[in-house]
Each structure stands twice: as structure tokens, then as C-alpha cells.
Amino acid sequence: MILVVAEKKSVAENLANVIGANQKVDNHYEGNDYIVSWCSGSLTKLAEPKFYDSKYRNWGCLPVIPNKWFIVPEDKKRNQLNYLIKLMNRTDITEIINACDAERQGEYIFRCVYCFARCNKPVKRLWISSLEDDSIINGFNNLKVSSEYDNLYKAAVCRAKADWLVGMNATRLFTTLYKEKLDSQTALRVGRVTSPTLSFIVERENEILNFKPETYYNTHIECGDFIAVCEGFKDENQAKLLENACKGSTAKVIDIKRTEKVKTPPMLYNLTDLQCDANRLFGYSAKETLNYLQKLYELKIFSYPRTDSRYITSDMANSLSQTIEMLSKLMSFVDEKEFKYNIHNVVNDKEVYGHYAIIPTKEIENKNKCISNEEEKLLELICLRILCAVSSPYTYCETKVILECNGKLFKFTNTKDISLGWKAIENEYMLSLKKQPCKLTKDLPKLEIGQVVNINNAYIKKIITTPPERFTEDTLLRAMENAGVVNKKVVDNQTLEDIDFVGLGTAATRADIIEKLVKYAFKKVENSSDNDVEIDDTFVKRIKDENSEITRLAPTEKAMSFIKLLPEELISPKLTVKWEDKLNQIENGKLSSAEFIASVDNIIYGLVKKFSSNKIDTELPF
């Protein structure tokens, strides 16, 4: 018998149906020489400090850096873990197939169970990006050797250890420092990625609180079909004088610049791009989007959701072309007769790592009628993106005109569509949502340099600058994705900036990071042990705008105070971004796990040494 281990029960059901394991027995399916079971997410975790030594029950005993690491069962999932262990060690099981999600965390989940079971049976890897029958069959016909993914597993282990080392040590360190100012059962929760993300939100809130509005005045002149503006008067009287001087006068055209511009089609969706657009258009949280997409993936309607890629590979071009032709008939916002596409817009073998972009499968034609309204919206949004991505560019002519009146320069810009291309499809979609499409452009009157035009009217507008807005999940996800390090280098006597955007977290983890900040801020501890019980507290609240359905992320007072307590090393994204880059290097075989963990250990030693002897005078408002 061959044991197949999936990450989720729903995926196990899909696999079992395809490979003929149709008999349900307790927590597995069997048939056709296969047994198919599942993990229900992570079944193990890294052991708590007290597991290594009873002295670590005292939170002041720092640093906690294990010489040898151990994994232990997740308390609430012991039954499924024990079930899998029995299956793995059955005498009739001769081979195991790791069918957990084809990404870093999926590799980690399976191997932790395999190691905990002390199993040494041969393992092969099922690596698929779709739950379509053909994809599953092809995957089973082309199983990989498990060792091909050893580096992926090493990177996952290093990430788990880094999170543990920072979380355990920093939480204990700062809770101990402030123990006289805290409730005896309250701990300050510090996270490797959550703390820098929270710092983004707090920093934005401080910018809003410290913002000082400025007032300035713009003078406008109406010249027939267009309006030109002279901007930036600090003194209202000066703007008023210009207004009066321009009324009934003329303006002279002194410069005209016409530029033809091209906006290339958008790329296919990766998870973060989709989460951003779903939040902006529908108000879905990042976690909600991922949950809806996971359901559609399990219904075989879309490809694997947790992907960073925005392209497909060249061998997929023909099958995707067939899907696109089907979508042009199914989607109401595209004119099938006028629609022409170029599949090569979305093909790039070098930009596909592990999984390709989120795309519909041929099963979309037979989509389940039980799909919710929220899932239907997400489905249409993904279909819109793929149809736009393979369409022609949007081209337009931008005209910038400068006029002079009474010694002052007035400017205006006009755009005129040349070819809507992919924008035509997007406009129809926006109209279907009853949202404003891109503005229709118009022709300018014929203007020439030196021409004098009559001013029909003049007026001033008072402008008051506004503070930056709080993050939405859309804008926070972008900030997390683009957190990077700028390296300056000199080439041919020119200073160039080489920006390597690695990001806080990954496409697969950012939704959970945000949810953690919204869910809790502190944790209760019992007698300074490790039996933590979450309490109803939070660092971040979701608040709806008064005049719209947009939800923004606002830090609580506890969050504002908490960030002040932490050193730069724990709230700056630089360290975490650097670590994410190193994890990628481990995954690609360019860095050893030992070297990475040693660098994390050194930082923990430094933090403890720097802060453990400090006397804390800061008052805590909580």
C-alpha cells in the first residue's frame, strides 16, 4: 500500500477520488492500493522553553537558545497526529507520498510529522498547482524524489526557528523588564514579522497625529473648452490680484508638448495583488480573500492560490489559450467578437518559481452553483485580470500646455485616447460593478505656440493639505511586499540605486500576520509558565470610513505605547527583510542553515545583553 498525506481533508478527498481510493475508513480513504489521509494544518510545533530545562519556567532566565531542537504535538491535534503515525508505521505501507501544499510551509508540515513518527520509509513528492483531474494524474505520473526539496525544508525549518527565537526571547525579555509595571499575568507579545508590521501602522498614525495642515491658493482661468491653473500661492491676496487681472483678459500659449504614452496590460494575479484589489473593490480582508480562493481552488476552478508569480510557463500556453477563448464567451464584460489576445504577454519561464500565477482552469465552465456571492465576485475579478493581461496595450496622447497671463504661468494637461486596448475590458467590468470607469478623454481645441486665447472667467480655489490616510489592507500589503533595502553603487561615475524588494513575510503568510495584529496584543501567562491563554485584546482595529465602505487599520493606544518600548532591531523591517532574503538563499542552496541560525543567535545574545540590565522608567498606560 502507498500512503498519500495531504495538508487538508478537502484536498485529500480530491486526490482520493482521482486515484481510486474511494472507500472512507475513519480518517482516511483507501482503495486501488492507496491510503489517503491528511494533516489538518500543522500537527506539531517547536517545543516550549521548559521542555529543554525546567529553569526556563523563570522568564528572566535568558537567552533561551536550544542546542538541539525538538518538535512536540499541537495539543488540539494530537488525535490526527497519532492517526498519521499509525498509518506511516503500518507494515503494509511500503511508500509515502508527500501531497501537502506545494510550498515551503507544506513541506515543513509533512516532514515534521514524518520525523515525529520516526519513519524511515521512502518518500516521494507530489508537486501540483491545480486540483484538476488531469493535473493530479500528471502529478502522480511524475512524482519527484523527496530529496529534491531538502533545501525548501531547510528554509522552512530556519524560518520556524527564527520566529521561535525572536518571539520567545523578545517576549520574555521585555515582559521581564516591565514586570513591575504589568499585571502579573500579562506578557508583552513580540514577533519577528508582526512587530515590524505593527510599526508601519503606528508610524503612519504618528504622521497623522503630528500633521500640520498648510493652506495655499490656486488661480484658475477658463479658456473655452479648457481650464488652466497657476498653483501654489501662500498669500490669498496675491492669488486674488491675479484672478482680477486675468478676468476679461487674454493668455498666450508659450509651450505645447505632445507625448504618445503606452500602458502595458497588467500582469496576472499573484496572491498579494489579488488580495489588494479584492480589498480595494469589495472590502475583503486579506484572510477572507485567501479563504474564498482556497475554496475555489478545492473546487478545481482555479490554480494554487499561495503564489508569488505573475506569469505562466511556455508549456502552458496552449491550454491557457483555450481557457481564455472560453472566458471571452462566458464573461459579460468582454465583447467576444472584438476580443483579440496575445498569450505571450503572460509567458515567462524565468519568472515562475514553484507555482505559476493564479489562473482559472477549464472547470470554470462548469462552476459549482453553490459558490457564494463573495466567491463569485472573486472569480470574476480573476477572469477580468487574465483577459486584460493578454489584451493589447492602452495607448493615449498626453498634451501639456503652458500659457502666460500677466507675467504668470498657467498649466493644464489633457489626455486623448488612441486605443483603449485592455482598458476597454476593465471599463466594462467597472460599469458592471456600478463603479466609475476611467475617465473618457476629449480632443483639445487646436492650439499653436504664440496663439492668444480669450479668458472667459477666472477664480481661485483654496487648498488645505490633508494628512496621510491610515492603511487599508490593500496599502498595508503593498508596504509589506515592498519593504526592502536600497543599495547604492557607483557605475561609470554615476550613483545607481539597486533595490531588492524581498518584503515582510511572504504572499502565503501576510494575511495571517495582519489577523494576528487584529486578534490580540497580549497574552496571559499562568505563574510565569508556558501555558499561555490568549485574552480579548488587540493591537489593531478595523474601522470603517464614515463616508465609504472602506475599512482602515487603526492602532490602539496599547500598540502606540508598545512600539515605543521596542528597540530599532525589532521594529525596523530591515532585519526581517534581510532574513527573508537569506531564507530564499537557503531554499536555492546558496546559504547553509547553520550560518543563518548562528546569525539569529547572535542577534538574540546582543538583545539580551543590551537590555537585560537596563532600568526602565517609561510609564505604561495599560
| Residue at which a domain ends, from 89, 108, 142 | 142
276 lies in the same domain as 335? yes
CATH of the domain at 482: 1.10.460.10
Split into its structural domains, the chain has a count of 4
Nearest residue to 355 (alpha-carbon basis) of 390, 305, 320, 286: 305
Which structural domain range is residue 345 located in? 271-389
Tens digit of pLDDT for each residue in 437-486?
665 566 778 899 999 999 999 999 999 999 999 999 999 999 999 886 45
Report yes or no on 619 lying in a domain.
no
Q: Would you state the pLDDT for residue 183?
A: 66
Let me know whether 365 and 483 are in one domain: no
Span 76-101, pLDDT tens digits: 999 999 999 999 999 999 999 999 99
Peptide bond preceding 213 in cis form (omega within 30 of 0): no
Report which DSSP code applies to 44.
E
Rounded Cα gap, residues 298 and 512, in angstroms: 20
Tell me the pLDDT band of 432, cut-offs 50, 70 and 90.
confident
- Are both 344 and 491 inside the same structural domain? no
Average pLDDT of every residue of the chain:
89
Q: Tell if the pTM clears 0.85, that is, is over it.
A: yes
Residues belonging to the active site: 304
Least confident segment among 76-80, 153-157, 339-343, 524-528:
524-528
pLDDT of the residue at 353: 79
Task: Note whether 605 and 563 are same-domain residues.
Answer: yes
Is there a domain that residue 430 lies in? no
Residue 187: the pLDDT is 79
Q: Are residues 452 and 482 in the same domain?
A: no
CATH code (residue 341): 1.10.290.10
pLDDT at 235 over 60: yes
Cell 486605443 belongs to which residue? Answer: 419
Both 230 and 303 in one domain: the answer is: no
Q: Is 298 exposed, middle or buried (0-12, 13-18, 19+ CB in 10 A)?
A: middle
Q: Does residue 318 form part of some domain?
A: yes
Q: Can you give the pLDDT at residue 182?
A: 67
503 falls in which pLDDT band (50, 70, 90)? confident
Question: Which CATH number is 456's domain given?
Answer: 2.70.20.10
**pLDDT at 523 (0 to 100):** 53
Q: What is the separation of C-alpha 465 from the centre of its chain, rounded to a whole number of angstroms?
A: 30
Q: How far apart are CA 197 and CA 571, in angstroms?
A: 8
Query: Each residue of 176-215: pLDDT tens digit?
Result: 888 776 666 677 889 999 999 999 999 999 999 999 999 9
Q: Return d(Cα 513, Cα 287) in angstroms, integer.
A: 10
Task: Give pLDDT, residue 495.
Answer: 47
d(CA 445, CA 447): 6
Q: Are residues 503 and 595 in the same domain?
A: yes
Same domain flag for 182 and 232? no
499 and 590 housed in the same domain: yes
Domain of 13, CATH number, reads 3.40.50.140
Is 150 contained in some domain? no
- Which of 296, 262, 266 is closest to 288 using CA atoms? 296
Mean pLDDT throughout 293-314? 93
Mean pLDDT (whole number) for 344-348: 95
Task: Give the containing element (helix H, strand E) for 247.
Answer: none
